[in-house]
Amino acid sequence: MDFAEILVLLAITGGATKAAAYFAAEGKHLPLRERRSVAITSVTIQAAILSIFVAFGPNILKFFHVTIPALEVAGGLILLIFAIGLVLGEGHSDHDGKAPAGATMATYPLAVPLLASPQAIVAVTIIASTLGAGNRAPLWAAVGTLIVANFVAMLAVAQVIGGDKEAGSGGSGIAPILLRVVALLLAALAVEIIALGLRGYGVLGAMPGVAH
């Protein structure tokens, strides 16, 4: 695979679209300085995780005797549980019903599983394994480009969403609707990831009429 092909794949699996939509819906109660901190922290964590899997992904799976299908099923289940919580209106608020704190949001769910998503980790690991230890320069370049683009996207969202309202005041309007639409799409994506893993085990066959 060349740089362009890898970059397109990573943009699809690890781009900031899902995280930006969640951030826009749930981060507007934060002051601008904290929103910027959340954006920077979440993408920095993504960069660290993807870099680890670029460098050591195949070795990590081999050491723990984990297969790619197992990683897909596990990652898909985590994403599905998170998405179901959002659809039902749970899992994104604390016990007082307030919107999540910035530090918490940056780590979960923005960094994981929305930016360093299960499918992005799987893609990076597969590409790293395919290219081999000494030929991963295109992968490193693509990951670096993705991270820069995600920094720009998340900081842009932090700048424009506006956030001088009190925490928890975003319970009306378009934000909750947007959040649930994104959650529904995440749930569908999670099912697709799980299905890929099950196909890898031979439990499911290919979908009729779909080329793989």
Per-residue model confidence as pLDDT tens digits over 132-189: 988 999 999 999 999 999 999 999 999 998 754 444 444 446 767 777 888 888 899 8
**How many structural domains are present in the chain?**
1
Is 147 a domain residue?
yes
Helix (H) or strand (E) holding 163: none
Alpha helix ranges (H) inside 64-117: 68-87, 102-105
pLDDT of residue 99: 55
C-beta of residue 36 within 8 angstroms of C-beta of residue 161: no
5-46 pLDDT tens trace: 999 999 999 999 989 989 988 888 899 999 999 999 999 999
- Total residue count of the chain as it appears in this document: 212
**CA distance linking residue 29 with residue 168, whole number of Å:** 7
Distance of CA 136 to the CA centre of its chain: 22
Question: Does residue 206 sit within a domain?
Answer: no
In a domain, 208, yes or no: no
Domain that holds residue 98: 3-200
Supply the DSSP string of 81-146, one letter for each residue.
HHHHHHHTT-SSS-TTSPPPPHHHHIIIIIIIIIIS-HHHHHHHHHHHHHH-TT--HHHHHHHHHH
Residue 205 lies in a domain: no
Q: Would residue 162 count as lying in a domain?
A: yes
Residue 207 lies in a domain: no
CA distance 189 to 44: 24
pLDDT digits (tens, 9 = 90+) for 44-95: 999 999 999 999 999 999 999 999 899 889 988 988 998 898 888 754 444 4
Once rounded to an integer, what is the mean pLDDT over residues 104-108?
93
